[in-house]
Amino acid sequence: MTFPIPAGCLAVVERLASSGFPSYLVGGCVRDLCRGVAPHDYDLTTPATPEQMQKAFAGLRVIGTGIAHGTLTVLSDGAAYEVTTYRVDGKYSDGRHPDGVRFTASLEEDLVRRDFTVNAMAYSPREGLIDLFGGQADLAAGIIRAVGEPERRFQEDALRIMRALRFASTLGFEIEENTAAALRRLAPTVLRVSPERIREELLKLLSGASSEKVLRAYRDVLCAAVPALAPIGETWDGAASAAAKLASDPTLALAALSRPLGEDATSALFRSLRTDKKSERRATAAVAALDAGLPADVSDAGLFLVGYGQPTALDALALADAYADPGTETARQALAAFRATGRPTSLSALALRGDDLAAVGIPSGPARGETLSRLLALAATGKVANERDALLAGALDLETGKRE
């Protein structure tokens, strides 16, 4: 079996070979090559120590990214390759990280520490595929299977539980029976893993083509791993199917999953996963806008856009669509019809400035801001034209109580 390998990657292999060291492509890239999918990056493994690699790579740009763990990044032919010394992970006393790593001269030892059979294959142009644990057969059968004893492997590193679900979703694979049973038993131990790493796997899971199936089948595992999801309860399956429709936008997919929880719990869920503020606000606003009710006519649409803004309106529509909410199509049409009116939805688009209000005797201060907001609502709903004179007249009406 031979795979097409980028020239830069072959050059790295050649450099190491010239210094007397074998090296192999390993992990995700080999899995993807076997599936006939272009790898998004290429990782290599070698018995050379980082020091020996530095010598072999003399003249190339090398970055000492993870030197303590034996990893160097080398730039070759315009691409970056991560090269790691064969490694044995030390004891995992906390179920999160190995207490230390030890280099080894054995490729087999390096492969046996890896998580799943499909991720534990190596390849070199010279020797072809090295598949010690039946990774190719599992790939062909569509199976995620732990390397070695599943219970022990998940005890070592509980992140592997989330990774199993992630790969099942992205590859559309089944999790092998014993592997699945072990990860169900140990699901609560995922809580020991950092929220950032749980989030990363959860978002990848949500981006997968088989996310709905995995979400449904492993609800208990996910709720143990991310307790903020547990209150979704009986609405889980519907939420899972809505989330799956938004797989191309995992943040929104998570908002869809979280929708039954409402605005505050959605914010809490995102914060518990330590997402960036922008994603948290985006998801929370979309759920809030949806809960407030989608617009049913042009005038509603104006107020909706004034209140939530165009990006949130689009997100809320996408959520409503994913849930097949009645009223989605009406709202879409109302928003489109509103856009055609050219009415303003923000103070910056209002044809009147605060200073203009001074001319009619409205003093600066909070009252002026309040008046501007009310004028914006009137202009957005078409009750007053977005023209300076009409807005000034509207302001006077508000002042004198002629208009509510």
Positions touching Mg ion (CB under 5 A) are 28
* Tokens encoding 336: 């489109």
Rounded-to-integer distance, Cα 85 and Cα 69, Å: 8
Q: Which is nearer to ligand ATP, 98 or 394 (CB)?
A: 98
SS (H, E, C) 130-156: ECCCCHHHHHHHCEECECCCHHHHHHH
Contact call for residue 138 and ligand ATP (CB under 6 A): no
CB of 157 to ligand ATP, least distance (A): 5
Number of amino acids touching ligand ATP (CB under 6 A): 11
| Sites for ligand ATP among residues 7-46 (CB under 6 A) | 27-28, 43
The piece of 136-144, 155-163, 232-240, 369-377 that touches ligand ATP (CB under 6 A) is 155-163
Stretch that binds ligand ATP, among 152-160, 176-184, 225-233, 251-259 (CB under 6 A): 152-160
* Contact partner, 98, from ligand ATP, Mg ion, none, Cβ < 5-8 Å per class: none
- 54 φ/ψ sector (left φ>0, alpha ψ -120 to 50, else beta): alpha
Helix, strand, or coil (residue 385): coil
d(C-alpha 394, C-alpha 403), whole Å? 8
Q: Quick one: three-class SS letters along 194-235? A: CHHHHHHHHHHHHHCCCHHHHHHHCHHHHHHHCHHHHHHHHH
8 or 95: whose CB is closer to ligand ATP?
A: 95
Q: Among ligand ATP, Mg ion, none, what binds residue 159 when CB lies within 5 to 8 Å by partner kind? A: ligand ATP
- Residue 145 as a binder of ligand ATP (CB under 6 A): the answer is no
Q: Closer to Mg ion at the Cβ: 28 or 172?
A: 28
Nearer to ligand ATP, 89 or 300 (CB): 89
Is residue 50 within 8 A of residue 72, CB to CB? The reply is yes
- Virtual torsion, Cα 190, 195, 196, 200, nearest 10 deg: 50
Of 45, 46, 71, 119, the residue at the interface with ligand ATP (CB under 6 A) is 119
Binding site for ligand ATP (CB under 6 A): 27-28, 43, 114-115, 119-120, 157, 159-160, 163
